[in-house]
Homo-oligomer: A and B are copies of this chain.
Amino acid sequence: MNYHPVQIHSNATSDRCCTQPSERCANCKVRLHSICAALEPEELRELDALAHPASFKSKQTLFLEGDDAANTYNITEGAVRLYKMLSDGRRQIVGFALPGDFLGLTLGEKHRYSADTIGEVRLCRFPRTGFLKMVGEKPHLLRRLHDFAGNELNMAQDQMALLGRLTAEEKIATFIVGMRARWTRLEGPSVTVPLPMTRQDIADYLGLTIETVSRGFARLTREKRIINVPDGVRLIDAKSLESLAA
């Protein structure tokens, strides 16, 4: 249960290969799922000039809680876990960022949580100063950031209700249903729900131990609601899962 993340930026590789610089944002696969959907074509070019695309290997730390927020990030591929550590090594994962999700939405000077990659990740990095300047000049961009932040806040409060008031089995069912909804938004509906994170990550997200999570999946499998598949689950009885989650 003790974690000692090491911050390694040298493993980020530049990723400006295939398209014209001025069109990278325009061609971005996750644009319509992200902040960037608020921008006009010209503004998109402006953002493009700020963007530093990069790839990260698995288990790299993007930043730690308390670090100066020198950059904001837009995930384009892969998944990132966001977490807070307690002084004695206990960990609470506060969210999983998927493609289209934005880290550093709140524009604060310090990161308020740590972030590291789960599997390979591609993202766009935006230096804070340039991004702040752009936000300052474009109230509608700020407004969209604010709307996204409002949504984040609501999701955090829903997660508070999950952590405080649901049983282990309800937590796990809710987690699966929620992940399905998120992947559906990105890639369309599917009965297979990708779960790139480890059982330990899920446990630290749901306020459980790894054993309880494992037993929860086992029980849902025994009850013929899901089947375990590599890096995810297949839903056999989505209805009954949803009723457990509700």
- Could you tell me if A154 and B86 are in contact, using CB atoms closer than 8 angstroms? no
Tallying the copies of this chain within the complex gives 2
A19 within 8 A of B: no
Binds B, one of A23-31, A121-129, A139-147, A226-234: A139-147
Contacts of A158 in B (CB 8 A): 84
- Could you tell me if A157 and B107 are in contact, using CB atoms closer than 8 angstroms? no
Q: How large is the interface on A (under 10, 10 to 19, 20 to 34, 35 or more residues)?
A: 35 or more
Q: Interface SS of chain A: helix, strand, loop or mixed? A: helix
**Contacts known (A161-B92, A163-B160, A164-B206); A146 close to B154, Cβ less than 8 A:** no
Bound Cα distance from A195 to B170, whole angstroms = 32
* Residues of A in contact with B (beta carbons under 8 Å apart): 84, 86-87, 90-92, 94, 105-108, 112-113, 136, 139, 142-143, 145-147, 149-150, 152-154, 156-161, 163-165, 204-207, 246
- Could you tell me if B165 and A164 are in contact, using CB atoms closer than 8 angstroms? no
